[in-house]
């Protein structure tokens, strides 16, 4: 039992943290890749910008570093890393009584690093060191939360946010590589595929499974269906189902589209998918994005923004 | 707390130059004000000896380093208040001084019994004026003074209040007069804040001066959250086996939000906002992930005016519609009770010694600061004749508005104020210019005297408990008497020493 508003905040902390980490990682990979001046670099930059999403083509042509700077510090852009971390912290402040001091301090340090007076200067000195530092700090936050928070209801809402965000983001990344939003030519470039794996933090684990043989089908299979890799979509959907199963029985009213039922269905779809389905990747990727968003709404209806009339004592 | 009054007292401190590298307290010599550390003849007071010894071994650089570590730890913990500016919003830490202020046990014993006595009497007074009104009938306190005050809530007439304890959390402001005796400057009976700084300062002081702390035999304050919770639970203990307590905050934009979250966290109770609560059939519920759950005790940090738009201010969005009806029905306890503000009104303040005598038959242990009521003709004459020596305050106002500081005003201002006084005398009180005591503070690498006050915290449920510690507020500008955090005031830890553990 916890306040609905608190569950809401914890859920969004999870989402914002995951979003910030994903954006930083894609940015870092893009900056490293574009040090070279070749076709792979162009392809990587296209993928990165497309995966980051809704950035309209700007009038002026920005260098990758400028683009990343905007992505990090642009205060007007609600999708920026700075905005995500500010909002995560703002949410954490509102539930300061619910998270441990250790966890709060990690998040507060991150916030001060990204919004502090020296942030842009540090970034200018070495963009990649800066991004690396932010990602490491985000890991510390997750580690502190894991090690100090009680793994109960609040924790589940936090991680529910993390995994819903992750599943949607990875699905989007795969979509711009292999799905409807892919480039005009099929992706075969070795370096570009390595970069995509890096963007999902998957290169090293992938190599252990498939060796250095990198093939679009394998990349797709790995990031969609792998059972153990924490950034594969199936791993996330399994967690989403697990957390919702634990959260659900506590709710007194079972709504028709209960989030745990939606999560179970999505997870089953990935668990029992035909590998050939990957040939038409866009269908399953589209389904992941759509189902995650339905789960999000169902979570709200069940736990957070429920109609009062249903819950009043008789 | 009184604002304003920036006495330029720089010249009252003789600065003695010294060649010693360490921060020699010899530099520090307050002459006119009572000083917490040094007696009038310049010797260190015995209860400060251990601290003085420790400071003498530290170089200015070491002290500065400790101060920086302290500030950094406050920033990281988010112990900040928000300053809203036109351009951008920033968060600042409340300036914190690392040198503790020390109070010997005998002196504390007097404070403790004085505050207990005062709060007992004030709770009896509140029960009376919202009940039989005997004190008004007996003419001890003028009827119009109480019933005409805007903070008097007629909605509270005749309501049941558990243990007749209207004020459950009190944070009185004490000062020392020129002779060094403590006096009560103000009773804060509404929603006093600052207790989180008392706890955070203690935490920091233990890390800054661990050895001195242990040797001095300081009484612990860490039980405060626990005592607060049991006080709150005792309010509903008679009718609910395991009462659900919540802390109610106006929200994250309130300047004391940190404290609300801090107390909720340390008590293990939910921190709710108005929008988390619903009233149905005169029962209060909070919206949880599992549906609605009954609430029994609300420790509210929201002013009376804002707690219920149906009963009080209609434009409030911070409160809960129907909350007061649930309270009236006896289904929920609000702490502090609505309407306690009438007893810390500036005019009622002047009557507190009489109130104590009336209900308890005792003399006040802690005196008031001398106060002239302009409603009394003789006192008005005195005030008008001495406007250049007095501070005149409007009864209903706070925060330094509607106030005249005689010694610093021009003749024109005084004349203007005299007219206002004559036009509406009952709206004004006057007090002599207050002399706060000084205590050593670390300011830009040097130890200098700064004015301080003392805010202890008193809890009242079934019984009254005074936490052996306090928030010492510091006026950081030299000579300034303003200790409010909104006006550049800071704070420091306060060590109350246990019996017999004092250093010689």
Query: Mind listing the pLDDT tens digit for each residue in A151-182?
Result: 999 999 999 999 999 999 999 999 998 887 77
Q: Is residue B321 part of a domain?
A: yes
Task: Judge whether B248 is closer than 8 Å to chain A, CB to CB.
Answer: no
Digit-coded pLDDT (tens) for B31-46: 578 899 988 888 889 9
Residues B331 and B227 in one domain: yes
pLDDT of residue B27: 58
Digit-coded pLDDT (tens) for B407-416: 778 888 888 8
Least confident window among A218-232, B3-17, B237-251, B275-289: B3-17
User: Do B289 and A252 count as a contact with CB atoms less than 8 A apart?
Assistant: no
- Which of A3, A115, A150, A298 should be substituted to probe chain B, the one whose Cβ sees the most B Cβ atoms within 10 Å? A3
pLDDT of residue A236: 97
User: Do B287 and A2 count as a contact with CB atoms less than 8 A apart?
Assistant: no
Residues B236 and B307 in one domain: yes
For chain B, state the CA radius of gyration. Answer: 23
Q: In whole angstroms, what is the distance from residue B98 CA to residue B110 CA?
A: 26
| Confidence tier at B56 by pLDDT (50, 70, 90) | confident
pLDDT of residue B172: 93
Domain boundary residue, one of B286, B311, B335: B335
Closest CB from B78, B290, B293 relative to A108: B78
Q: Are B122 and B355 in contact (CB under 8 A)?
A: yes
pLDDT at B16 exceeding the cut of 60: no
Digit-coded pLDDT (tens) for A286-309: 999 999 999 999 999 889 988 888
Tokens 């040797």, located at residue: B215
Which residues, at least 6 apart from A112, have a Cβ–Cβ distance to it below 8 Å?
Answer: B75
Q: Is residue B117 part of a domain?
A: no
- The phi and psi torsions of A108 (rounded to 5 degrees) equal -65, -40
Q: Are B383 and B425 in contact (CB under 8 A)?
A: no
pLDDT at B181 exceeding the cut of 50: yes
- Which of B291, B320, B322 should be substituted to probe chain A, the one whose Cβ sees the most A Cβ atoms within 10 Å? B291
B-chain residue closest to A250, CA distance: B290
Tell me what the mean pLDDT of segment B423-444 comes to. 86
Residues B321 and B242 in one domain: yes
The SS3 of residue B293 is strand
B336 prior amide bond cis, ω within 30: yes
The minimum CA-CA distance between A4 and chain B, rounded to whole Å, is 4
Q: Is residue B208 part of a domain?
A: no
Beta carbons within 10 angstroms of residue B282's beta carbon: 15
Q: Are B392 and B404 in contact (CB under 8 A)?
A: yes
The kind and range of the H/E element at B17 are none
Give the residue numbers spanning the domain of B381: 372-432
Tell me what the mean pLDDT of segment B80-102 comes to. 75
Residues B238 and B317 in one domain: yes
Q: In whole angstroms, what is the distance from residue A163 CA to residue A238 CA?
A: 9
Q: Are A154 and A94 in contact (CB under 8 A)?
A: no
User: CATH code at B419?
Assistant: 3.30.1490.270
Q: Tell me the chain B residues in contact with residue A98 when contact means C-beta distances shorter than 8 Å.
A: 265
Q: Is residue B75 part of a domain?
A: no
Q: Tell me the chain A residues in contact with residue B287 when contact means C-beta distances shorter than 8 Å.
A: 3-5, 308
Residues B311 and B377 in one domain: no
Residues B234 and B311 in one domain: yes
Q: In whole angstroms, what is the distance from residue B234 CA to residue A231 CA?
A: 51
Domain boundary residue, one of B314, B335, B356: B335
The minimum CA-CA distance between A271 and chain B, rounded to whole Å, is 29
Q: In whole angstroms, what is the distance from residue B362 CA to residue B130 CA?
A: 23
Which spans in B298-345 are helix H?
323-328
Residues B255 and B327 in one domain: yes
Residues B392 and B329 in one domain: no
pLDDT of residue A268: 93
Which residues, at least 6 apart from B447, have a Cβ–Cβ distance to it below 8 Å?
Answer: B23, B25, B27, B28, B55, B99, B440, B441
Q: Could you tell me whether strands B390-394 and B182-186 are parallel, antiparallel, or unpaired per DSSP bridges? A: unpaired
Task: Judge whether A112 is closer than 8 Å to chain B, CB to CB.
Answer: yes
Tokens 């007097």, located at residue: B110
The kind and range of the H/E element at B202 are helix B195-208
- Angle made by CA atoms A23, A29, A33, in degrees to the nearest 5: 145
pLDDT of residue A275: 67
Q: Is residue B95 part of a domain?
A: no
Residues B294 and B397 in one domain: no
* Pick from A2, A91, A43: nearest CA to A187: A43
pLDDT of residue B424: 85
Question: Tokens standing for A244?
Answer: 């919702």
Q: Tell me the chain B residues in contact with residue A105 when contact means C-beta distances shorter than 8 Å.
A: 76-77
How many CA atoms, within 13 angstroms, populate the side-chain half-sphere of residue B235?
34
Q: In whole angstroms, what is the distance from residue B42 CA to residue B28 CA?
A: 9
Least confident window among A86-95, B427-436, B476-485: B476-485
Task: Judge whether B255 is closer than 8 Å to chain A, CB to CB.
Answer: no
Q: Are B63 and B445 in contact (CB under 8 A)?
A: yes
* Pick from B272, B252, B74, B87: nearest CA to A89: B252
Task: Judge whether A304 is closer than 8 Å to chain B, CB to CB.
Answer: yes
User: Do A97 and B289 count as a contact with CB atoms less than 8 A apart?
Assistant: no
Q: In whole angstroms, what is the distance from residue B16 CA to residue B307 CA?
A: 55
User: Do A97 and B286 count as a contact with CB atoms less than 8 A apart?
Assistant: no
B247: which strand partners? B271, B299
pLDDT of residue B501: 47
* Pick from A101, A2, A146: nearest CA to B269: A2
pLDDT of residue B499: 80
- Reading chain A (314 residues) residue by residue, the pLDDT tens digits are 899 999 999 999 999 999 999 999 999 999 999 888 888 888 898 899 888 875 555 556 788 888 899 889 887 788 899 999 999 998 998 888 888 989 999 999 999 899 888 889 999 999 999 999 999 999 999 999 999 999 999 999 999 999 999 999 999 999 998 887 777 777 778 889 999 999 999 999 999 999 888 988 899 999 999 999 999 999 999 999 999 988 876 545 555 558 998 999 999 999 988 766 556 788 889 999 999 999 999 999 889 988 888 777 76
- CB–CB contacts below 8 A, A to B: 80
Q: Is residue B415 part of a domain?
A: yes
Task: Judge whether A211 is closer than 8 Å to chain B, CB to CB.
Answer: no
Q: Is residue B67 part of a domain?
A: no
**DSSP code per residue over chain A:** --BHHHHHHHHHHHHHHHHHHHHHHHHHHHHHHTTS-SHHHHHHHHHHHHHH--PPPPSSPPPHHHHHHHHHH-SS-TTSHHHHHHHHHHHHHHTTTTS-HHHHHHHHHHHHHHHSTTHHHHHHH-HHHHHHHHHHHHHHHHHHHHHHS-SSHHHHHHHHHHHHHHHHHHHHHHHHHHSTT--SS----HHHHHHHHHHTT-HHHHHHHHTT---HHHHHHHHHH-SS-TTSHHHHHHHHHHHHHHHGGGSSS--TT-HHHHHHHHHHHHHT--GGGGGGHHHHHHHHHHHHHHHHHHHIIIIIS--GGGTS--
Task: Judge whether B328 is closer than 8 Å to chain A, CB to CB.
Answer: no
- Which of B244, B280, B289, B326 should be substituted to probe chain A, the one whose Cβ sees the most A Cβ atoms within 10 Å? B289
| Confidence tier at B86 by pLDDT (50, 70, 90) | low
The minimum CA-CA distance between A98 and chain B, rounded to whole Å, is 7
Residues B256 and B310 in one domain: yes
User: CATH code at B254?
Assistant: 3.40.50.11290
* Pick from A109, A271, A260: nearest CA to B77: A109
The minimum CA-CA distance between B245 and chain A, rounded to whole Å, is 13
pLDDT at B177 exceeding the cut of 70: yes
Domain boundary residue, one of B383, B413, B432: B432
Question: Tokens standing for B361?
Answer: 């038959």
Residue bearing the bigger pLDDT, B410 or B244:
B244
The SS3 of residue B438 is strand
DSSP state of B30: B
Residues B318 and B240 in one domain: yes
| Structural domain total, chain B | 2
Q: Is residue B326 part of a domain?
A: yes
Tokens 């307290």, located at residue: B25
């Amino acid at each position: 039992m916890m306040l609905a508003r608190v569950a809401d905040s914890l859920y969004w902390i999870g989402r914002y943290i995951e979003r910030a980490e994903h954006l930083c990682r894609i940015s870092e990979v893009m900056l490293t890749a574009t040090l070279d001046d070749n076709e792979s670099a162009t392809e990587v930059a296209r993928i990165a910008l497309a995966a980051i999403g809704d950035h309209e083509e700007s009038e002026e042509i920005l260098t990758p570093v400028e683009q990343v700077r905007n992505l990090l510090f642009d205060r007007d852009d609600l999708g920026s890393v700075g905005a995500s971390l500010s909002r995560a912290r703002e949410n954490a402040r509102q539930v300061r009584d619910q998270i441990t001091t250790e966890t709060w301090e990690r998040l507060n340090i991150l916030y001060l690093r990204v919004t502090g007076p020296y942030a842009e200067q540090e970034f200018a000195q070495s963009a990649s060191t800066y991004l690396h530092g932010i990602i490491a700090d985000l890991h510390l936050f997750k580690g502190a939360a894991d090690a100090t928070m009680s793994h109960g209801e609040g924790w589940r809402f936090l991680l529910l946010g993390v995994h819903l965000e992750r599943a949607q983001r990875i699905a989007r990344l795969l979509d711009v590589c292999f799905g409807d939003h892919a480039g005009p030519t099929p992706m075969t470039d070795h370096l570009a595929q390595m970069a995509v794996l890096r963007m999902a933090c998957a290169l090293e684990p992938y190599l252990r499974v498939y060796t250095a043989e990198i093939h679009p089908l394998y990349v797709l299979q790995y990031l969609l269906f792998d059972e153990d890799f924490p950034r594969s979509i199936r791993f996330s959907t399994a967690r989403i189902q697990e957390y919702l199963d634990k959260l659900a029985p506590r709710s007194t009213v079972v709504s028709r589209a209960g989030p745990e039922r939606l999560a179970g269905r999505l997870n089953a779809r990935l668990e029992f998918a035909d590998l050939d389905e990957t040939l038409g990747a866009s269908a399953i990727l589209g389904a992941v994005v759509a189902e995650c968003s339905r789960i999000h709404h169902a979570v709200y209806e069940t736990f957070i923004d429920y109609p009062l009339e249903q819950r009043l004592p008789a | 707390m009184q604002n304003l009054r920036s006495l330029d007292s720089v010249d009252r401190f003789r600065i003695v130059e010294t060649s010693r590298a360490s921060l020699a307290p010899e530099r520090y010599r307050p002459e006119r004000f009572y000083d917490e550390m040094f007696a009038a003849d310049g010797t260190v007071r015995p209860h400060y000896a251990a601290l003085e010894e420790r400071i003498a071994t530290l170089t200015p650089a070491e002290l500065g380093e400790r101060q920086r570590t302290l500030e950094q730890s406050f920033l990281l913990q988010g112990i900040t208040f928000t300053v809203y500016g036109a351009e951008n919003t920033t968060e600042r830490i409340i300036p914190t001084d690392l040198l503790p202020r020390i109070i010997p046990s005998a002196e504390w014993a007097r404070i403790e019994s004085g505050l207990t006595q005062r709060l007992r009497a004030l709770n009896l007074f509140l029960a009376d004026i919202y009940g039989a009104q005997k004190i008004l009938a007996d003419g001890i306190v003028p009827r119009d003074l109480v019933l005409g005050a805007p903070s008097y809530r007629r909605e509270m007439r005749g309501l049941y209040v558990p243990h007749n304890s209207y004020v459950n959390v009190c944070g009185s402001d004490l000062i020392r007069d020129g002779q060094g005796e403590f006096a009560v400057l103000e009773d804060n009976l509404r929603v006093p804040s600052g207790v989180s700084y008392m706890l955070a300062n203690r935490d920091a002081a233990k890390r800054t001066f661990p050895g001195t702390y242990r040797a001095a035999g300081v009484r612990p304050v860490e039980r405060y959250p626990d005592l607060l919770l049991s006080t709150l639970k005792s309010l509903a203990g008679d009718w609910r086996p395991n009462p659900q307590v919540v802390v109610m905050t106006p929200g994250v934009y309130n300047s004391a939000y940190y404290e609300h979250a801090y107390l909720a966290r340390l008590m293990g109770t939910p921190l709710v906002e108005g929008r988390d609560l619903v009233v149905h059939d005169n029962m209060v519920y909070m919206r949880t992930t599992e549906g609605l759950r009954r609430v029994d005790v609300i420790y509210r940090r929201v002013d009376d005016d804002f707690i219920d738009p149906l009963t009080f201010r209609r434009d409030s969005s911070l409160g809960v519609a129907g909350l007061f009806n649930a309270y009236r029905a006896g289904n929920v306890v609000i702490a502090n009770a609505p309407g306690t503000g009438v007893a810390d009104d500036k005019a009622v303040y002047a009557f507190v010694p009489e109130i104590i005598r009336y209900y308890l038959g005792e003399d006040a242990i802690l005196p008031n600061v001398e106060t002239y009521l302009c409603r009394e003709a003789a006192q008005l004459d005195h005030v008008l004749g001495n406007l250049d020596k007095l501070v005149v305050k409007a009864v209903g106002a706070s925060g330094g508005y509607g106030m005249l500081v005689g010694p610093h005003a021009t003749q024109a201002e005084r004349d203007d104020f005299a007219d206002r006084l004559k036009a509406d005398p009952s709206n004004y009180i006057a007090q002599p210019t207050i002399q706060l005591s000084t205590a050593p503070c670390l300011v830009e690498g040097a130890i200098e005297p700064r004015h301080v006050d003392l805010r202890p915290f008193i809890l009242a449920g079934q019984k009254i408990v005074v936490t052996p510690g306090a928030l010492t507020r510091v006026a950081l500008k030299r000579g300034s008497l303003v200790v409010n955090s909104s006006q550049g005031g800071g704070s420091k830890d306060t060590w109350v020493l246990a019996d017999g553990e004092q250093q010689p």
